[in-house]
Amino acid sequence: MLSAPIAAIGRITRNLTAADSLLELLATSAREGAEALNARMALALLWNAGHGALEIGATHGMDPDLVPALNEALRVEREGIAQEAIARNQIQVMADLATHPPSVVLPEWLAMGLKSAFAVPLSFSGKPLGVLVLFDDRPHALSADDRDLLATLGSLISAAIHHAQLLALIAERTALLEEANAGLEEANRLKNEFVAIASHELRTPMTAIKGYATLLQEPDLSPEDQADAVRIVGEQTDRLTRILDELLDLATLESGRMPLILSTVDITVALERTRTLLVRKYPDRPIELDVRSGIDALQTDSDKLEQILLNLVDNACKYSAADAPITLSVETAEGGLEIRVHNDGPGLSEAEQAKMFDKFHRLDRTLHQARGTGLGLYITRQLVDLLGGSIRVESGEDLGVTVAFSLPIRLTAA
């Protein structure tokens, strides 16, 4: 094996520096190592700390199809020349592979007609990075000049690998920071939007209550106007209570302090009660029941279940025509029940479906000016999760919207 001129170090340094990625750097290392010592084949191995093994990062002068099998062999090899180099952090020499036992020399090397091997450890500040292994097709020892050249080459490659890994880490952390910053910006935007929505939603009923309360003080107000004013004050008080309840529910759910009170719930009775409550709010709205489950009762939290049903049916009423029917159906599902709330309103796009249960999200419906904080469906999803279930939306053009949620037959309190 002929020593390369020391002048080649300058060329090698320039080529290593010009590499744009870790893979290109490893390929350059294998090629330059082989050319510097006129070797037949070279492997640039990387140390995988997670697996505690060396893996091939790049090759020179070797059939790429052999890489998977050699990688597998390297994972189980514990006494080979590359392992010795990384363990001792010293250049290792096998001047004649045929004189070493099979536990040290992979059969693959001999099958390729390789006769000698040289392993250069790659490390930086005591941290192992990998090994550069050079092979020749004739038995040969290293000269003193060759050993010095390999030591210099190892130092150059080690510094370049450390620099490349550091740049990759910086790029990864930068991407994570940019993603986190984007998330913070989005959270801040949603917070500001929510504050504006909540302020408006709270101010509107309070303004109405104050205005009609003042009107009720008028001595000459007719009985009909008095009754109308009292009705509106009641409606706006209910609206204000609902908004405050949503804010309290949000805080309790996200703090993890929402209690569960388990009881046996008759599912048909629960659906009938939901219909009764909402028929009062939407007297002209047909709300139909379709129970086919064959399961009469659930062990769950009745109040949470009622809140889920009221939220979903109320939402279906808001986003469909005033006389369009709402269907509540129940079917047996794996391990429990699936309850479906369907309306014949406009279908939802895939983008809207993906965001439907997001916090503060309100559907874009120009035909239906539905009011709200954008918390109702988010809270609904949290409640379904709390009851051990799952929820999803099904929709499409001219198909209306179906929200389906499943619950286990028996919920065990945590």
Instruction: Give, for 149, the enclosing helix (H) or strand (E).
Output: helix 144-215
**Per-residue model confidence as pLDDT tens digits over 218-276:** 888 888 888 888 888 887 787 777 777 777 777 777 777 888 889 999 999 999 988 88
Q: How far apart are the first and last CA of the chain?
A: 72
Confidence label for 44 from pLDDT (cuts 50, 70 and 90): very high
Query: Residue 353 in 3-state DSSP?
Result: helix
For residue 414 the two structure tokens come to: 């945590």
pLDDT value at residue 132 = 94
Measured distance CA(147)–CA(91) in Å, rounded: 8
What number is the average pLDDT over the span 297-324? 87
Residue 120 in this model has a pLDDT that exceeds 80: yes
Residue 378 has pLDDT above 60, yes or no: yes
**What percentage of the chain's residues is helix, strand, coil (to nearest 5)?**
50, 20, 30
The arithmetic mean of pLDDT across residues 348-366, rounded, is 74
Share of the chain above pLDDT 90, in %: 16
Q: What is the mean pLDDT of residues 402-408?
A: 92
- Residue 364 pLDDT greater than 80, yes or no: no
Distance CA 285, CA 328 (A): 13
- Say how far apart CA 404 and CA 312 lie, in whole Å: 10
Give the model confidence (pLDDT) of 283-293 as tens digits.
Answer: 888 999 988 77
**Domain range list for the chain:** 8-173, 187-255, 262-408
pLDDT at residue 135 in the model: 92
Tell me, yes or no, if the pTM score tops 0.85: no
Homologous superfamily of domain range 8-173: GAF domain (3.30.450.40)
Rounded average pLDDT over 377-397:
88
- 187-255 carries CATH number 2.40.50.180: no
- Assess whether pLDDT exceeds 60 at residue 339: yes
- pLDDT value for 2: 40
pLDDT of amino acid 133: 92
Mean pLDDT of the chain: 82
Q: Does position 49 have pLDDT exceeding 90, yes or no? A: no
Residue 13 exposed, middle or buried by CB count within 10 Å (0-12, 13-18, 19+): middle
Does the fold of domain 262-408 match that of domain 8-173? Answer: no
In the predicted model, is pLDDT for residue 382 greater than 50? yes
pLDDT at 414: 52
Structure tokens at 119: 């392993």
Distance of CA 96 to the CA centre of its chain: 52
**pLDDT for residue 78:** 64
- Of the listed ranges 102-106, 114-118, 197-201, 272-276, the least confidently predicted one is 197-201
CA proximity to 402, closest of 360, 347, 364: 347
Architecture of domain 262-408: 2-Layer Sandwich (3.30)
| Sign of the four-CA dihedral 182, 188, 190, 192 | negative
3-class DSSP string for 106-133: CHHHHHCCCCEEEEEEEEECCEEEEEEE
Mapped onto helix, strand or coil, the DSSP state of residue 221 is coil
In this prediction, residues 13-29 reach a mean pLDDT of: 84
Helical axes 22-36 vs 8-18, angle rounded to 10°: 160
Percent of the chain past pLDDT 70, that is, above it, reads 89
